[in-house]
């Protein structure tokens, strides 16, 4: 039996959910919607009062017409125009007041919907920023973009127009039914009989549309995911001539989305005509029965006219409600996915009682650490290591040896499944998150620069930094000269992803960012792997300054970078197989000596 997806994003792409699973998802969405509406309770009640009064005034029209025909006209024939004037005047006043109130309702409802959307966007952005790295590595950026764009757009469309149609439509149907029964109970009985096939038709539509609309949201999300991934990796796509294959895949996704939407249209192609047919048959039945009663003198002609108008008006909003159900199902499917993201639990959670790190020195200790990614193989079977404060450690080994995994664990992007990692004696799982992020900084192979100025990107390491501190950091790592040569110096916009600077310059800026942050522990994860030889030499000089007087973990394949370390660890299958200074290992006969000899021969 399939487990109910009560929390998180598991199973969001499935379209074969059981009834219990669907109910669980709906309950989750209702909880989210309730939490969004709670702060707006006062506004919501006021808006509801306005729409109730305005709808009641609109529904009063046919009854006033009946009074004018059955009472006002006979009185006018007798020479008394008062009853007809009162009925006509009441009709005009009710129409004007109802129109003014419905206009006011639309403004109030729009303010509520915008407040909900604002809070929902804020929650999604805040949540996705704080979810663990493991989530982002499995839940692609395209999916997150889909949640923040197409899914929220579906909810916006529902709140901006669909919800207003729902509230006014339901109230209109309710008040019309009450007025009809109060005016002529037998006609109300005819309408009640018509509700039986209407209920079956609506139930049939509901059970099929829920699954179909979930399919449309899923296929739409897949389209966005594929598009974002293709555009993000456009260089690789063009370099490996993947355009043709990508066209085929994308065409298949577009076709899936077209088929899903076509099924929805076919569903409405049955539901809408069925609704119109039931309404027309009901109007004909009321007119026929009422006509015989008028002929027998049992029903006034004005009342018959009002009854026919009420029956016609009763079915008119139902068509609007059917269109609302279209938007509702799309928005409900979107809300299910958004609520899944918002209820996703981070695998790396903040401690209940965080331990502060007021003045970290940088001593790291791995104590029998065991770790593997998700359900995959164990990367670190039982890893132990002691790194004194201020020591520079270089990690060397083949791909998959566990080097980058150690870096991620030190940065607490992941937590070990067993054992402990401590910084100055404090378990990383217990350390105050803000203190830990200040104490440990990682510089990766891809020096990511955000849109903004050079100064803004350097100050990312210390948002409160003054211009003098920013310039000092740039000078310390050797970046000042090339920054000054840029068109606007430190105020130059680096453009998207640092497109206005070279790879080596981007890396120098990332070093300046790390320098100004002044961490106790600095991790360089293949930070020089993508640089050419001249750029690497410039960066090597910056590294000497950057690594001084702090604990450093260097992960590198280039042995020129490893040479600046105090100590080299050679890793295989998550274990340390060699440990010593660069000079000691080079003088030996182990694996590092072989790597160094091969590297030296390649330079000869």
Residue 217 sits in a domain whose CATH number is 1.20.1560.10
Please, what is the average pLDDT of the chain? 82
Decide if pLDDT at 552 tops 60.
Answer: yes
Model pLDDT for residues 310-362, shown as the tens digit of each residue: 888 888 777 667 667 667 777 777 787 888 888 888 778 888 889 998 889 99
The verdict on residue 14 lying in a domain is: no
pLDDT above 70 for 25: yes
Q: Is the pLDDT of residue 8 over 80?
A: no
Q: How many domains does the chain have?
A: 2
Residue holding tokens 């695998």?
Answer: 347
Quick one: which of 248, 245, 249, 223 has its CA closest to 236?
A: 245
Quick one: three-class SS letters along 354-412? CECCCCCCCCEEEEEEEEECCCCCEEEEEEEEEECCCCEEEEEECCCCCHHHHHHHHCC
Q: In CATH, what number is assigned to the domain containing residue 570?
A: 3.40.50.300
CA dist., res. 457 & res. 449, Å (int)? 6
Taking CA atoms, 219 is separated from 58, 195, 464, 600, in Å, by 42, 35, 44, 54
> 264 with 369, same domain?
no
Indicate yes or no: pTM above 0.75. Answer: no
Please check the confidence at residue 2 and state whether its pLDDT lies above 50.
Answer: no
> Are 381 and 264 in the same domain?
no
Residues 320 and 187 both lie in one domain: yes
pLDDT value, residue 3? 41
Region of residue 591 (left: phi > 0; alpha: psi -120 to 50; beta: else): alpha
Q: How confident is the model at residue 14 (pLDDT cuts 50, 70, 90)?
A: low
pLDDT score for 564: 82
Separation CA 114–CA 36 (nearest Å): 11
How many beta carbons lie within 10 A of that of residue 126, not counting itself?
10
496 HSE (CA, 13 A, CB side)? 1
For 494-543, the pLDDT digits (tens) are 875 555 677 778 888 888 888 888 899 999 887 766 666 666 666 677 77
273 token code pair: 């005509």
Asked if pLDDT for residue 17 goes beyond 70, the answer is no
Which of 51-65, 147-161, 470-484, 527-541 is predicted with the least confidence, judged by mean pLDDT? 527-541
Instruction: Tell whether 333 and 369 lie within a shared domain.
Output: no
Looking at the structure, do residues 277 and 407 belong to the same domain, yes or no?
no
pLDDT digits over 180-195, tens only? 888 888 888 888 888 8
Mean pLDDT over 415-427 rounds to 92
Residue 78: pLDDT over 90: no
Domain for residue 347, yes or no?
Answer: no
Please name the residue that has the structure tokens 């994003």.
Answer: 9
Strand duo 364-372 + 418-423: pairing: antiparallel
> For residue 29, which of 41, 39, 21, 17 has the smallest C-alpha distance?
21
Are residues 296 and 148 part of one domain? Answer: yes
Statement: residue 309 has pLDDT above 80: yes
390: pLDDT strictly greater than 50: yes
**Cα-flanking dihedrals φ and ψ of residue 582, to 5°?**
-55, -45
Does residue 319 lie within any of the structural domains? yes
What is the structure's pLDDT at 5? 46
Confidence of residue 87 (pLDDT cuts 50, 70, 90): confident
State how far the alpha carbon of 215 is from the alpha carbons of 55, 212, 259, in Å.
36, 5, 10
Residues 119 and 267 in one domain: yes
For 228-278, write each residue's pLDDT tens digit: 778 877 777 777 677 888 888 888 888 888 888 888 888 888 888 888 888
Residue 601 has pLDDT above 70, yes or no: no
Q: Has residue 6 been placed in a domain?
A: no
pLDDT at 242: 78
3-state secondary structure of 576: strand
Q: Which domain holds residue 465?
A: 364-603
3-state secondary structure of 579: strand
């Amino acid at each position: 039996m399939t487990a109910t997806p009560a929390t998180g994003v598991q199973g969001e792409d499935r379209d074969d959910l059981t009834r219990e699973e669907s109910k669980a998802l709906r309950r989750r969405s209702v909880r989210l919607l309730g939490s969004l509406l709670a702060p707006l309770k006062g506004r919501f009640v006021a808006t509801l009062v306005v729409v109730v009064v305005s709808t009641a005034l609109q529904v009063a029209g046919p009854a006033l017409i009946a009074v004018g025909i059955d009472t006002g006209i006979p009185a006018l024939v007798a020479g008394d125009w008062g009853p007809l004037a009162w009925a006509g005047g009441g009709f005009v006043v009710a129409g004007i007041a109802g129109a003014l109130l419905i206009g006011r309702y639309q403004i109030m409802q729009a303010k509520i919907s915008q407040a909900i959307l604002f809070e929902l966007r804020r929650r999604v952005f805040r949540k996705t920023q704080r979810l663990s790295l493991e989530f982002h590595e499995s839940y692609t950026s395209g999916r997150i973009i889909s949640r923040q764009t197409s899914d929220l757009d579906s909810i916006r469309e529902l709140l901006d127009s669909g919800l207003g149609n729902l509230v006014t439509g339901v109230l209109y149907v309710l008040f019309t039914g009450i007025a009809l029964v109060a005016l002529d109970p037998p006609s109300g009985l005819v309408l009640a009989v018509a509700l039986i096939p209407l209920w079956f038709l609506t139930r049939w539509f509901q059970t099929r549309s829920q699954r179909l609309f979930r399919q449309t949201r899923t296929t739409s999300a897949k389209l966005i995911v594929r598009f974002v991934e293709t555009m993000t990796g456009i260089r690789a796509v063009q370099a490996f001539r993947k355009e043709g294959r990508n066209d085929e895949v994308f065409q298949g996704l577009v076709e899936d989305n077209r088929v899903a939407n076509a099924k929805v249209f076919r569903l409405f192609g049955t539901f809408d005509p069925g609704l119109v047919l039931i309404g027309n048959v009901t109007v004909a039945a009321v007119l026929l029965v009422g006509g015989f009663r008028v002929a027998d003198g049992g029903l006034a002609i004005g009342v018959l006219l009002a009854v026919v108008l009420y029956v016609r008006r009763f079915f008119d909003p139902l068509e609007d409600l059917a269109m609302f159900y279209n938007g509702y199902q799309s928005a409900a499917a979107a809300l299910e996915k958004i609520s899944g993201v918002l209820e996703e639990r981070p695998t790396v959670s903040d401690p209940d009682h965080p331990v502060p790190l007021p003045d970290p020195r940088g001593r790291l200790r791995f104590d029998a650490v065991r770790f593997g990614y998700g359900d995959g193989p164990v990367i670190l079977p039982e890893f132990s290591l002691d790194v004194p404060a201020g020591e520079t450690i270089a990690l060397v080994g083949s791909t998959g040896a566990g080097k980058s995994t150690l870096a991620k664990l030190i940065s607490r992007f992941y937590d070990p499944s067993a054992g402990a990692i401590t910084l100055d004696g404090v378990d990383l799982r217990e350390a105050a998150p803000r203190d830990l992020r200040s104490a440990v900084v990682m510089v990766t192979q891809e020096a990511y620069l955000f849109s903004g100025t050079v100064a803004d990107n350097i100050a990312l390491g210390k948002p409160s930094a003054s211009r003098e501190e920013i310039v000092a950091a740039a000078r310390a790592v050797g970046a000042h000269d090339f920054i000054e040569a840029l068109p606007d110096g430190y105020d130059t916009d680096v453009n998207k992803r640092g497109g206005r600077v070279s790879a080596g310059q981007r890396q120098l800026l990332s070093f300046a960012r790390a320098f100004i942050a002044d961490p106790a522990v600095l991790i360089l994860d293949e930070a020089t792997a993508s640089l050419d030889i001249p750029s690497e030499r410039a960066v090597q000089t910056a590294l000497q300054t950057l690594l001084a007087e702090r604990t450093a973990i260097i992960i590198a394949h280039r042995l020129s970078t490893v040479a600046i370390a105090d100590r080299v660890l050679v890793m295989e299958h998550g274990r340390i197989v060699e440990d010593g200074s660069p000079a000691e290992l080079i003088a030996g006969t182990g694996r590092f000596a072989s790597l160094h000899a091969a590297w030296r021969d390649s330079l000869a």
